[in-house]
Amino acid sequence: MLTYTTPSGEKYKVHLSPLDIAIPLHFGGSQPNSYGVPFAKSEAFEGGGFIGDVRRGGSCNFEIYTFIPHCNGTHTECVGHISHERISIHSYLKDAFIPATLITITPHKASETQDTYIPEFNPNDIVIDKTTLEAQLKHIESPFKEGLIIRTLPNPASKMYRDYTKHDAPFFTIEAMKFIRSIGVKHLLVDIPSVDRMFDEGKLSAHHLYFEIPFGENTVQKPVNYTITEFIFVSPEIPDGIYLLNLQIAAFMSDASPSRPLIFRLSREDS
């Protein structure tokens, strides 16, 4: 059993059976999708008489994988997603274990909030607003706000293979993202395809706020080791609460990578 100690000295037991909140990517099978891009696929390499498929007489399986990390499943991205500079997630993500909080929220119709968005809301928009986040996080200690994992309701298993060109997805208001920045979140994980509205005229206002790049600009103002992980799925059996988060990524020198976030349960040592 490992122990995690907060900056204030509180000790927690770390349960070493991780909970996986990634969506497994089935190449050529059922998978989530956004923006109508091609679905992820795999195909056996063929060349020089070699066939990379044992089922077809090859000596081993040797496949080519084609996918878009931002659209084809669970992925983690960094500021390089919206910057002129080619910044890689591999260079920026250095945290091995991150104190994190899992919350479950019900997004609201945009007409039911006083929050705003750039560009303006559409009539059917569904949003995650500041008031909802404040209510869920007001009793959470600061160390466990470094990572914020958000599960939205309803939470059917169909999220793992939903085509979001056919389904509206919630997104973050301006005020909600400013609040997230204000409480010191460094790693934000969501079960939606994007923190922004999918078709937002290319503004990506929530991304700009989170990565601290002014609207309309694409130059990094200061180094920010923040990440956003999208397209997670948190099983209904996993309770809200505090965890240690381990963000596993491929060693890609790119702005985003397929990822496998694992969370570890914590319990107070004196409980």
Q: What's the confidence (pLDDT) of residue 25?
A: 97
Tell me how far apart the alpha carbons of residues 65 and 73 are, in angstroms, rounded to a whole number. Answer: 14
Alpha helices by DSSP H, listed for the chain, are 89-92, 130-137, 174-182, 205-211
Alpha helices by DSSP H, listed for 86-190, are 89-92, 130-137, 174-182
pLDDT tens profile 108-159: 999 999 999 999 999 999 999 999 999 999 988 889 999 999 999 999 999 9
Beta strand pairing call for 227-230 and 187-190: parallel
Please provide the average confidence, as pLDDT, over all residues in the chain.
95
Which conformational region is residue 212 in: left (phi greater than 0), alpha (psi within -120 to 50 degrees), or beta? left
Tell me how far apart the alpha carbons of residues 112 and 228 are, in angstroms, rounded to a whole number. Answer: 26
Q: Is the pLDDT of residue 270 over 80?
A: no
CA-closest candidate to residue 200, choices 256, 125, 108: 125
pLDDT tens profile 198-257: 999 999 999 999 999 999 999 998 878 999 999 999 999 999 999 999 999 999 999 999
Burial 17-33 (b: 16+ CB within 10 A, else e): ebbbbbbebebeeebbb
Q: What's the confidence (pLDDT) of residue 2?
A: 86
Check whether domain 2-21+73-268 has CATH 1.10.510.10, yes or no: no
Q: Is the pLDDT of residue 98 over 80?
A: yes
Least confident of 7-11, 28-32, 171-175, 245-249: 7-11
At position 204, the amino acid (one-letter code) is L
Q: What's the confidence (pLDDT) of residue 54?
A: 98
Q: In Å, how far from its chain's centre is CA 213?
A: 19
Q: What's the confidence (pLDDT) of residue 174?
A: 98
- Residues with Cβ within 8 Å of 5's Cβ and at least 6 positions away in sequence, in order, are 11, 12
Tell me how far apart the alpha carbons of residues 13 and 101 are, in angstroms, rounded to a whole number. Answer: 16
pTM for this structure? Answer: 0.96
Strand partners, 111: none
Mean pLDDT of 13-27: 96
Q: Is the pLDDT of residue 271 over 70?
A: no
At position 218, the amino acid (one-letter code) is N
